[in-house]
Every structure is written in C-alpha cells, then in structure tokens.
Amino acid sequence: MNAITPNADRDKARNLVNGLSVDVEDWFQVGAFEDVIERDNWAQLDDRVERNTHEVLALFDEAGVSATFFTLGWVAQRHGPLMRAVVDAGHEVASHGWDHQRVFNLGQQGFAEDIAKARSVLEDATGQMVVGYRAPSFSIDHRTPWAFEELAEQGYLYSSSVAPVAHDHYGWADAPRFAFNPLPGSDLVELPVTTAMFGGKRMAAGGGGFFRVLPYAFSRWAIRQVNRDEGRPAMFYFHPWEIDPGQPRVAGAPIKSRLRHYTNLDRMADKLRQLVHDFAWGRVDHIAQREAARLSIEAKETA
C-alpha cells in the first residue's frame, strides 16, 4: 500500500483543476501608480489593454485552458467587443469593480454603488450574468466586514478578494487560506488567492509580481504543495499588462513600485506557457461551485 501512495498523490494533484484568472486592467490603472497617475487622465493615456488581452486569449487557446477574466467596468465600457471575444472563447467574465478603487477607501455605500455600476456594464457588454467579484488589490480585509454583506445582497455567488498574507499594500494575515463562507446563513463563497507554507509561515504564491520576480520553480513547488499536500485547488492570477514589456514607463513612481511593476515583463509570457501546461486549469466560477458543495457537506457533517 505504501509503495503506491506517492504515485496516487501525484495523480490526484495532476488531475485537480486549479482556478486561472486574469485581472483585466491597463498599465496605468494599477495600485502601484495610483498616487502618481490621476484617474481623470486615464482616457488620454496609451490604451494597451485590448491588444494585451487578445495576447492572453491566444495563449489560453494554444494551451486549451479556460479562465476567469475579472474586468474593470471602466475597461468593459470602452471595449465591448473585447468582452464578447472573451466569453465567445469560453471564458468567464467577472467583476473587478469600476475603476480599481480599494474597497476600504470606498466605504460601504460607495462599495455598493461601485459593484452595481460595474456589474451592469459587464453584463451589458457580455450578455451574460456576472456572479463573481475580485476586489482591486485584494482589498477586502478585517476593516471591511460589510463588503461580503453587500456582495451577497446584490446576488454575487463568489468572491476571490482576500490575500491571506501580510503585505505592505494589502493582506488579511489571519484569514483562512482556502475557500470559506464569510457570512453565516449565506452561500457566498470566498476563494482566497493561493499561499504556500514554508517553515510554518505563509508565503504569497498565487501569481502577479511574485510569479514574475521569483524563479518558476517556486510557483511550481507552491502549487504542487497546495494540490498534493493540501488536496485543494490553487487560485492563480495575473494581469494583461504583465506580458507587455513595451508599455510606457512611469518615471515619477517610487522605485519600489517601479521594480515590482517592470521586473521580468519580457519573461512573463513564457513562464505562463509553462504554468498552464504543467497543471490543470479552469474558470473560477466552476471552482466556486465545487468548493461551495464541499463546504455545504462539511457544514452538515459538523452540525
């Protein structure tokens, strides 16, 4: 029995479908530049999100994977045909809010208005219901317990808005690492971005700048740990601008922000190709359905 267990574990990990997601925003809308690029100037800047998102669609088509595109309402309003191209390719379009304002800066009423406005535009653009949400900069945390209430009230089925780590820009360090129901009596599911454990400490391992900057072997190890040792799906994300080394440079941003934003842009596409071939990937709404069912069973077993 012990002789076949390692192979069985590897097969289980290989067949476990992970959540693949894209946060659709342009290079000038990121949190790293929010203090140096005014929102009022966005419309005058070099719009590169359509070209970059089509590159992502081509990469996914090549690998035969489906994903969720968490999209800003601001982008969807200006790129309706792009939204149709995403859903026509079999992917999910979900909400990333209206214009990338952090949840804890909006307040409860402002947040309610933000997610309603974004959802309306996204549904008009795609012709499909929007059931998922990701907060800009993973900004649902201990300061915003009302955010889940608003999402449930407006009929969202899942959120992927929590980074269960300590970070200088975001994070909810003591949040659960894996899917949980944030509201008693509600079916709303929160799917935190992936973390790995090393030396008893949580390490961010769900994509973005960490994926670009660190060696690919780290991400492969982290996802294997989550799949094989924890038996759980990973939640991975990146942005279309991360495969665009030709994007404009923002000279006025802090050096730390520039290093995070521009490092290894020229290597990102190749790393993504390796990632999508090394693991099984799917849409986040499908992962949310499976995790909701698992949580329901667990709740009944412990009742």
Over residues 156-201, the pLDDT tens digits come to 999 999 999 987 677 899 999 999 999 998 999 999 999 999 999 9
Per-residue pLDDT of 204-261, as tens digits, reads 999 989 999 999 999 999 999 999 999 999 999 999 999 999 999 998 888 989 998 9
8 A C-beta contact, residue 65 and residue 20: yes
Q: Looking at residue 234, what DSSP letter applies?
A: -
Residues 6+ apart with CB under 8 A from 268: 211, 212, 238, 242, 243
Q: Residue 237 has which token pair?
A: 């994300």
Per-residue pLDDT of 83-126, as tens digits, reads 999 999 999 999 999 999 999 999 999 999 999 999 999 999 99
pTM: predicted TM-score of the whole model, two decimal places: 0.94
8 A C-beta contact, residue 198 and residue 192: no
Distance CA 187, CA 156 (A): 10
Indicate if the pLDDT at residue 6 is higher than 50. Answer: no
Distance CA 303, CA 62 (A): 46
Q: Which residues of 81-120 are buried (b: 16+ CB within 10 A; e: fewer)?
A: ebbeebeeeebbbbbbbbbbbbbbebeeeebbebbebbbe
Indicate if the pLDDT at residue 3 is higher than 60. Answer: no
**Cβ atoms within 10 Å of 1's Cβ, excluding its own:** 5
H-assigned helices in the chain: 5-15, 49-63, 73-78, 80-88, 103-126, 145-153, 208-213, 216-224, 255-262, 268-278, 284-302
Indicate if the pLDDT at residue 2 is higher than 60. Answer: no
Per-residue pLDDT of 252-292, as tens digits, reads 888 989 998 999 999 999 999 999 999 999 999 999 999 99
69: which strand partners? 22, 93
Q: Residue 72 has which token pair?
A: 């800003």
pLDDT of residue 253: 87
Per-residue pLDDT of 121-161, as tens digits, reads 999 999 999 999 999 999 999 999 899 999 999 999 999 99
Q: In sequence order, what DSSP letters do the residues of 206-230 get, joined into one string? A: SBHHHHHHS-HHHHHHHHHIIIIIS
